[in-house]
Amino acid sequence: MQKTKSKTFSSFKKLINQKTLIIGLAAFLSAFLMFFASFLQADSGFKHWIKEFKKTALAHNISPSTFDMAFKTVKAIDPEVLEKAAYQPEFIDHPWNYFDNRVHDIAILEGQHQAQKWKNWLLQIEKRFGVDHNILLAIWSIESNYGKILAHKGVMRDTIRSLATLAYADQKRSKYAQTQLIAAMKILQRGEITRAQLTGSWAGAMGHTQFIPSSYLTYAIDMDGDGRCDIWTSVPDALATAANLLHMNGWQPNLLWGVEIKLPQGKDLPEDWYSFKEWTRLGIKQANGQPLPSSSEQAILKYPDGPKGPIFLVTKNFFVLKRYNNADRYALAVALLANRISGHPKLVQDWQRPFPPLTFHERKELQSRLKALGYYKGEVDGKIGKVSRKALKAFQLRHGLEADGYPSPAVLSVLRKQ
């Protein structure tokens, strides 16, 4: 009797397990079919959008063959592009970290090396466009790390697919992306670059100097004379294109972008444009104690880190730099890096910081140690951006440190003990 009960229970249990398995499989299959249907619907919607966008492209003088060639390999949107487009900064990037990431010893030394390597071309470009070649080297550094980023598959993307993704799925950037898509196809139609070589950032910035397609069409220069404006593989073309942008937007040859200054004690200063001579009469000197240039060129005060950080008088050329990227920080980073490449010393007044700065090599060491411990998945490049700071914050939380995500000597010391 006991054996019969046991056998009955075993059969019942087996039946329950089979039913559970069947129900589980059914649920999984249902979820998979829903996902697959959703995917097909999205894919179908994107294909329909491409078909409709072709009409727009043809109306902008893109040939059918160019359009078909451009979209031949574009079968689906790029989800990583949408992820980057939707990113909301988790951290505030303080001035000291922003400038430490861009104006550092490695960038300076590499800029000086590239200045020698491309000396003849740089002299020709400077003579033709009147733009200081050190400014061009600084732009090259900040935009693509002297071209090194172009070989980084994790950063470089198919420009047509990226822009098509934004045009189709990002309402905020759709108009921008459609304009840039048309421009990108015009670049292909002109034979400036092959379809496979048309790569850029997730937002469509391309080449050594990271031009968006519409800006390329406006400013691109064939400096090396090979018949193509190739900012992807020709350094002379890329640097000349950057110089042309600055030149066409009013860069004045032989005009300083600005100078670091020291404010006179207890004196309110105007927030208007005055000549260097007038600023001198108001009691302002350079931060190193030297007098200001004795010229009638106009300049205006800039406080990028408040009254306790470094302070500058900037000229119209500073604002021309903002035509490349409309941010004071960007223009100042280019200007300061250009100064250092040309041999100028560090700023007299450092940025306001909560702790002493790490060297660039120490920042790389910090990333490397975080990576070895499994916190960091990015490149060991010494640049403490959002990925590095997220990893730092996780490490700090795990070890009871203040979780600010910043690369301090204290956190590096703790890392070295792991």
Nearest-angstrom CA–CA distance, 159 and 163: 6
pLDDT tens track of the chain, all 418 residues? 444 445 544 554 444 455 444 455 455 545 444 544 444 445 889 999 999 999 999 999 999 999 999 999 999 999 999 998 987 666 678 999 999 999 999 999 999 999 999 999 999 999 999 999 999 999 999 999 999 999 887 789 999 999 999 999 999 999 999 999 999 999 999 999 999 999 999 999 999 999 999 999 999 999 999 999 999 999 999 999 999 999 999 999 999 999 999 998 877 888 899 999 999 999 999 999 999 998 899 999 999 999 999 999 999 999 999 999 999 999 999 999 999 999 999 999 999 999 999 999 999 999 999 999 999 998 899 999 889 999 999 999 999 988 889 899 999 999 999 9
Q: Answer yes or no: is 392 within a domain.
A: yes
Q: Same domain, yes or no, for 141 and 189?
A: no
- 263 and 317 in a single domain? The answer is yes
User: Both 156 and 141 in a single domain?
Assistant: no
State whether 128 and 188 are in the same domain: no
Residue 416 phi/psi, 5° resolution?
A: -65, -20
Residue 157, strand partner residues: 200
Does 43 map to a domain?
yes
Domain boundary residue, one of 300, 320, 349? 349
CB 408 within 8 A of CB 414: no
Parent domain of 386: 360-416
Q: Sign of the C-alpha dihedral, residues 249, 326, 236, 196? A: negative
Q: What is the pTM of this model?
A: 0.86
Same domain, 74 and 128: no
Number of domains in the chain: 3
Task: Assess whether 172 and 189 both reside in one domain.
Answer: yes
Distances in Å between the Cα of 216 and the Cα atoms of 188, 240, 322 are 12, 12, 17
Q: What SS3 class is residue 275?
A: strand
| Final residue before a domain boundary, out of 298, 314, 349 | 349
Residue 93: exposed, middle, or buried by beta-carbon count in 10 A (0-12, 13-18, 19+)? middle
Helix (H, G, I), strand (E, B) or coil at 194: coil
CA torsion angle 343 348 352 357 (round to 10): 50
Q: What is the CATH number of the domain that holds 47?
A: 1.10.8.350
What residues contact residue 88 under an 8 Å CB cut-off, 6+ apart? Answer: none
Assess whether 143 and 34 both reside in one domain. Answer: no
**Do residues 320 and 171 share a domain?**
no
SS3 content of the chain, % helix, strand, coil (to 5): 55, 5, 40
| Statement to judge: residues 289 and 368 lie in one domain | no
CATH number at residue 118: 1.10.530.10
Look at residue 226 and tell me if it is in a domain: no
Q: How many C-beta atoms lie closer than 10 Å to residue 110's C-beta?
A: 17
Same domain, residue pair 161 and 293: no
Residue 342 lies in a domain: yes
